[in-house]
Structure 1
Amino acid sequence: MIAARIRARAALTRAAGVLAGVAGTVLAASAQAGEPPVVRAEAGIVRGTQEDGIAIFRGIPYAEAPVGERRWQPPVAKAHWEGVRDARAFGPPCFQPEARGAANNIYAEELGKMSEDCLTLNVWAPDDAANAPVLVWIHGGALVAGASSFGMYDGAHLAEEGVVVVSLNYRLGVLGFLAHPELSAESEQDISGNYGFLDQIEALRWIERNIAAFGGDPDNVTIAGESAGALSVMYLMTSPLARELFDKAVMQSSYMISTPALKEAEHGHPSAESLGLWLEEKLEADDLADLRALGPRELVAKATAAGYPTWGTVDGKVIPHQIAESFDRGEQAPVPVLAGFNSGEIRSLRRLLPPAPADAEEYEAKVRAAYGDLADRFLAIYPSDTIDESMLAATRDALYGWTAERIGRKQAAIGAPAYLYLFDHGYPAADEAGLHAFHASEIPFMFGTIWETTDNWPRIPRTEEQRTLSDAMVDYWISFARSGVPHAEGRPGWPRFGDDEAYMVFDRKPFVVNDVLGDRYELYEETVCRRRAAGDQQWNWNVGVISPPLPAKAPQCR
């Protein structure tokens, strides 16, 4: 079986090389003739647009999302189409709560008309691309919102540096992640949920079959994402279904939280199937057929109003174990990784914080009641004389800092290269709004889109300092996608994470620092270990003053 897969992949690689040469000829010829670029891929012929030496193809369908009476099924691979498909406009965003576009939301962006059949991707390729590295971007949005069409995800700046950039849509919220006993019964594998992750896997399969026609190398694919996109990358790293579909991984502000199991209550989560039954009751539906009879807009609105929580599902097939367990087992993809977090993550995510205690005495009392023998360590790191800053830092470190370093340590343990970063860059509009290095603020810098953000985004100054930092980050990310080693000419070398626990810090300029987290990593490793050992507590943003009483020290916990 393994030998057959290797032979098949080798054949694909040889075909890819031929197609890449054809693609480069087609794109270059189109550019010289001043005509829209045309690509003949396995999926069909597409015509895009050409802008400043970059061929852009938007809204290419990579699969069909079963809808209506067939809703909540794995994606169906898109059949070969006849004729020339117009690929000048982005595909419609997947259905999501419309309230997320509120004017006071810095992440808001106009979505336009949404669709349930939304599985499209976009490609940016240099006109002369041939066997170029491929960077696949998975957008964030808590698995309930977002779209590949957002302006700061524009891949043109990265493509100018010689990579082929792909971004994709995937099903979100209740439409992408509902598990239900009737759905499991319909499945040959007796599983349900995770449809959004299956969409991402199907997109990677499409890329493997078709990207050579756009000048990309199917044997040099880097998957990348931020927030829920980075969470998705972690799930793809642990899913047997995604193995061999990518070669490197980038995780920006990922979070290694617990998630429901399909059929059993575990780690403080009700089973995913029971959540489906709960939603059915909340929506006054008699069965799955009633849920499928609802229109997508109505279903999303009602599920959101009911408080339906969107999670991945540990089903033993798509997601075999909790992410933390898969990494402990060393079963994650043994690929080079680049991972990190931002110093001000929670400043724009204050909804993750509980109400602040009235005073230092109440703060300390709640921490001691929750952390017991670890309370002194916690209070030494997050003192009561700066309650707001302590709460912001504690939630940041528990979700994002611990995850980034855990990824680095676990990759190092299996002999895979890991490169970690801390984004600590501020600028006047963000700092004045109390948003220094806020969640996702690194994205326009690594995409090179610092002056193309939305009206709600804190405005990045049009200065040489900002562009210089962005150029450095673009260089590091591009070189990682190309070779698995981040490098920027004239910038500090980025050490591989190891015994010295080196991080690259991005502030006004990049520089290397060792041991960024200090005792904070060990504190959260201990708390998560105890919760996992007890088996009845979640680990996510239940940190500090809202932490449940921590279980007693377990033998397997240091």
Structure 2
Amino acid sequence: PTPTATAAVTTPTTTTAAAGVTVRTHDGLLRGTVHDGYRTFEGIPYAAPPLGRLRWTPPRPAAGWSGVRDATRPASACPQPAGEVPGGSTDEDCLYLNVTTPAPAPAGAATTAGGAVGPVRRRPVIVWLHGGGFTTGAGSSYDAHRMATRGGVVVVTVNYRLGALGFLAHDHLPGSGTFGLADQQAALRWVRDEIGAFGGDPRNVTLAGESAGGYSVCAQLVSPAAAGLFERAVIQSGPCTGRPDRPFAPSSIPLPDARAAGADLATRLGCGPARAREVMACLRRVPVARLLDAQGADQQPARSTGLLPVDPAAALAAGRFHHVPVLLGSNHDEGNGWAAGIIQAGNPVTPVTWLDVAAAFFPLPGQAAAIVRTYPVHEGDGGPVFGAVIGDADFACPTARTGTLLATRVPLWRYEFADEHAPPLVPGTPPFPLGAPHASELPYLFDLGGRPREMTPAQRRLANAMIDYWTRFAAAADPRNPAAPPWPGHTVLSLAPDHITPTGTFSARHHCAFWNTLG
């Protein structure tokens, strides 16, 4: 470990007062909030604000401060359109993280007369990377107190640069296409150096994420620069074998494609062809709101870069990744949310329209016809069938492929979240029952937006079992524990309120043989 990591392990200092709790980090004192059974520290800077000339540069170290810094409320989300973050955000000063840690101090702590806590038993650490298609989301959306208190872990949720601000690529721009991934690594380095002050073990860090956050975990698994920054990985609905030619699933794109997209964006913003330095100076003057309006709806990290040298799928196939235990999974009905949105936008899926709808999303010759034969639509079932196509093509089968590649090299635990009555994530009535769609497992682990979803007693038991699995994996690289139903190795564990059982039919149910052969 580095000298700073060693210091964080041996000399954390925490004081408690009526106003909250104060922790000393290497950058300065932080005042957090005491809750019933846990403590939170929000809006902690882990890198310098990427403003002005620092827009589109790798993250720089955060500046220290004097006095006590308030850490009782989250910082701004990174720039993004309105959606998950009400009203969106245009604040580039956004490279902050949040820490949730059990309270009181871990067993074995030595408390001095002045309130300082001496050396303590270190807790496992989970670093959470949010989803949102690399364009939306914020670490502060994930209230992790149930995971911290029930599982006895320290949870860190992270903001990272999004959209064009996080993933712009341009000729001669160092860090092209991977600024958001570089931010995640900066946050992991902060955890290595500072988490000991919060009771966490910097030598026992699990990197976890969902959707774009899950794919980010894939990218960090194969990034040379992430070596030694985490000891386990959790990948939720963000398979490492996603493909940019198939819609919705997160993936990476070749650097030349990313640079072409960056050049097109520069032209549309009035910063067209010129010397690279002049183009970047022009782009750095563009107001954030205008940049958000001009950027594409989809963003992907660029590969063939220093941070992400190869496609994660190729790296896994070659065994060139950090060999850490992995917990991997997807949801039973991943595609239903997208299918419902497309139908509600005026694109009905019927036996008459099905071939044209399939061709719009799978345009290569012969693809649509093969899909229609494998997934026939009858009157009244177009929505679920379309959702199954999206989910199987983009999530279930790439997850199975990712698992096959990982299992030959590292301990692997696979699940499928299958609560067909999962609490809805958004208001309104969908055109058909969504089952267990993309992101529907998240309320079982977190209180999204600080608001717990209404659950039946059986669903609450499932949530507790999932937290037990996830946190036990973080502690010991093996999710099995006496408090939860058995999870045999080398099986997919189906997670539903009425059953938590291994299933051997995952690939057949999701037509993975078909998708593995489709061009």
Q: Provide the TM-score with structure 2 as the length reference.
A: 0.84
Structure 2 CA distance for partners of 1:67 and 1:362, relative to 1, 3 Å: closer
Structure 2 CA distance for partners of 1:525 and 1:327, relative to 1, 3 Å: farther
Report the CA distance between 1:113 and its aligned residue. 5.7
Q: Secondary structure at the match of 2:255?
A: coil
1:525 aligns with 2:479: no
Selected match of 1:400 from 395, 401, 404: 395
Give the aligned partner of residue 90 of structure 1. 74
1:419 aligns with 2:413: yes
Selected match of 1:132 from 112, 115, 123: 123
Query: Where do 1:144-543 residues align within 5 Å?
Result: 144-150=135-141, 153-160=142-149, 161-183=151-173, 187=174, 191-255=175-239, 256-258=242-244, 259-263=252-256, 271-286=257-272, 287-303=279-295, 307=296, 309-350=298-339, 355=347, 359=351, 363=355, 372=366, 378=371, 381-385=374-378, 386-414=381-409, 416-427=410-421, 430=424, 433=430, 434-447=433-446, 449=447, 453=451, 460-461=454-455, 463-497=456-490, 501-518=491-508, 520-527=511-518
In 2, are the aligned partners of 1:427 and 1:460 still within 8 Å (CA)? no
In 2, are the aligned partners of 1:364 and 1:384 still within 8 Å (CA)? no
Q: Secondary structure at the match of 1:475?
A: helix
Separation in structure 2 between the aligned mates of residue 352 and residue 229 of structure 1, nearest angstrom: 24
Separation in structure 1 between the aligned mates of residue 481 and residue 30 of structure 2, nearest angstrom: 35
Selected match of 2:99 from 100, 107, 123: 123
Q: Secondary structure at the match of 1:441?
A: coil
Separation in structure 2 between the aligned mates of residue 91 and residue 502 of structure 1, nearest angstrom: 38
Q: Secondary structure at the match of 1:274?
A: helix
Separation in structure 2 between the aligned mates of residue 228 and residue 507 of structure 1, nearest angstrom: 26
CA offsets, 1:359-399, max 9 Å, x none? 369639977995759966x5564224354332211110111
Separation in structure 2 between the aligned mates of residue 293 and residue 231 of structure 1, nearest angstrom: 31
In 2, are the aligned partners of 1:194 and 1:313 still within 8 Å (CA)? yes
CA offsets, 1:221-267, max 9 Å, x none? 0111111111111111111111210011111111422432223xxxx
Structure 2 CA distance for partners of 1:520 and 1:170, relative to 1, 3 Å: same
Aligned length: 475
In 1, are the aligned partners of 2:161 and 2:180 still within 8 Å (CA)? yes
Separation in structure 2 between the aligned mates of residue 94 and residue 450 of structure 1, nearest angstrom: 17
In 2, are the aligned partners of 1:314 and 1:321 still within 8 Å (CA)? yes
Residue identity matched to 1:325: A
Report the CA distance between 1:413 and its aligned residue. 1.1
Structure 2 CA distance for partners of 1:274 and 1:432, relative to 1, 3 Å: closer
Report the CA distance between 1:526 and its aligned residue. 2.8
Report the CA distance between 1:217 and its aligned residue. 0.4
In 2, are the aligned partners of 1:182 and 1:288 still within 8 Å (CA)? no
| Unaligned residue ranges in structure 1 (runs of 5+) | 1-7, 101-107, 264-270, 528-549, 551-558
In 2, are the aligned partners of 1:503 and 1:515 still within 8 Å (CA)? no
Separation in structure 1 between the aligned mates of residue 158 and residue 43 of structure 2, nearest angstrom: 9
CA offsets, 1:9-64, max 9 Å, x none? 5x666544313xx44xx25xx1xx54521111223211111101312100000001
Q: Secondary structure at the match of 2:507?
A: coil
In 2, are the aligned partners of 1:40 and 1:46 still within 8 Å (CA)? yes
In 2, are the aligned partners of 1:43 and 1:210 still within 8 Å (CA)? no
Q: Once structures 1 and 2 are overlaid, which stretch shifts more, 516-525 or 389-398?
A: 516-525
Separation in structure 2 between the aligned mates of residue 18 and residue 428 of structure 1, nearest angstrom: 44
User: Identity across aligned pairs (percent)?
Assistant: 35
Structure having the higher helix fraction is 1
Separation in structure 1 between the aligned mates of residue 507 and residue 221 of structure 2, nearest angstrom: 24
Separation in structure 1 between the aligned mates of residue 316 and residue 384 of structure 2, nearest angstrom: 31
| Unaligned residue ranges in structure 2 (runs of 5+) | 107-120, 245-251, 273-278
In 2, are the aligned partners of 1:423 and 1:442 still within 8 Å (CA)? yes
Structure 2 CA distance for partners of 1:371 and 1:384, relative to 1, 3 Å: farther
Give the aligned partner of residue 64 of structure 2. 80
Structure 2 CA distance for partners of 1:479 and 1:180, relative to 1, 3 Å: same
Report the CA distance between 1:477 and its aligned residue. 0.9
Residue identity matched to 1:17: V
Separation in structure 1 between the aligned mates of residue 56 and residue 419 of structure 2, nearest angstrom: 41
Structure 2 CA distance for partners of 1:220 and 1:429, relative to 1, 3 Å: closer
Q: Provide the TM-score with structure 1 as the length reference.
A: 0.78
Query: Where do 1:51-90 residues align within 5 Å?
Result: 51-90=35-74
In 2, are the aligned partners of 1:344 and 1:437 still within 8 Å (CA)? yes
Q: Secondary structure at the match of 1:124?
A: strand
In 2, are the aligned partners of 1:47 and 1:88 still within 8 Å (CA)? yes
Report the CA distance between 1:425 and its aligned residue. 0.7
CA offsets, 1:181-225, max 9 Å, x none? 142xxx3xxx51210110000000010000011110011101111
Separation in structure 1 between the aligned mates of residue 131 and residue 467 of structure 2, nearest angstrom: 19
Q: Secondary structure at the match of 1:523?
A: helix
Q: Secondary structure at the match of 2:467?
A: helix
In 1, are the aligned partners of 2:50 and 2:57 still within 8 Å (CA)? yes
Residue identity matched to 1:468: R
Report the CA distance between 1:69 and its aligned residue. 3.3
Report the CA distance between 1:109 and its aligned residue. 4.3
Structure 2 CA distance for partners of 1:471 and 1:361, relative to 1, 3 Å: closer
In 2, are the aligned partners of 1:37 and 1:47 still within 8 Å (CA)? yes
Give the aligned partner of residue 531 of structure 1. none
Report the CA distance between 1:308 and its aligned residue. 6.0
Residue identity matched to 2:206: T
